Amino acid sequence: MPSRHQRALDRHAETFVLDVPREGDGGSVVADSRLDLGAAFGRQAPVVLEIGSGAGDCVVAAARQHPELDFLAMEVWRPGLAQTISKAVHAGVENIRLVEADAAQALPLLIGPDELSEVWIFFPDPWPKKKHHKRRLVTPEFAQVVANVLEPQGVLRLATDWEEYAWQMLEVVNGSDQFANLYGAGDGFAPRFEGRVETRFERRGNRADRPVRDLAAQLTLK
């Protein structure tokens, strides 16, 4: 990674990156590794989780705009974590914490029931080849994981520029008995979420003439 990002990681990781126990050399998060979010942020406030935060554009902008909220980001790409730290320091925001982890494996271990107000999954890896669709993150099984960690009336927000994946996401939301599609009266897709800043993934989709679709679903059952 660029030296400036490595410096940001070296200087500020202790502040922003949460240390979680792992199996082996940087492997999966071990069981019983529950995070204490109140201790991590030093206060009690609603927590928004962004899964796959990339270079941190969205989560840093949101943290700057909403100092009353806390933002947790899960990302497996270390250079992305470093860029997020660099942007957070530059923006002067302190209400962000990062976890280097695969959310599919780590989320049910690290976060307890009812601890999150929202979960954001923007532009997850589409795994476009049919034989790889099983690797996609947004599935009925993962929707259940999200439902378990959201507080009552919590919100799941999704976005993708891959049409076929968008319809799969819509099926997951509409097929869940724990989520209500907040825009189910129309075609099911939501207007562009105003809290989602444009990232390179969205720009890439626009250049390829792939329309971006948003979804928003609210937890209805606990």
State pLDDT tens for residues 91-146.
999 999 999 999 999 999 999 999 999 999 999 999 999 999 999 999 999 999 99
In terms of DSSP bridges, do strands 150-160 and 116-122 run parallel, antiparallel, or are they unpaired? parallel
| Residue 152: both structure tokens together | 């009552």
Average pLDDT over residues 195-205: 86
Indicate the pTM of the whole model: 0.94
User: What's 19's DSSP letter?
Assistant: P
pLDDT in tens, 142-180: 999 999 999 999 999 999 999 999 999 999 999 999 999
125 is catalytic: yes
Which of the following is catalytic: 32, 57, 125, 161?
Answer: 125
Instruction: List the CATH code of the domain at 3-219.
Output: 3.40.50.150
Q: CA angle at residue 160 from 154 to 113, to 5 degrees?
A: 25
Domain chopping of the chain, boundaries: 3-219
HSE of 137 in the Cβ direction (CA atoms, 13 Å)? 19
Question: CA-to-CA distance for 80 and 12, rounded, in angstroms?
Answer: 14
Burial class (CB in 10 A: 0-12, 13-18, 19+), 75: buried
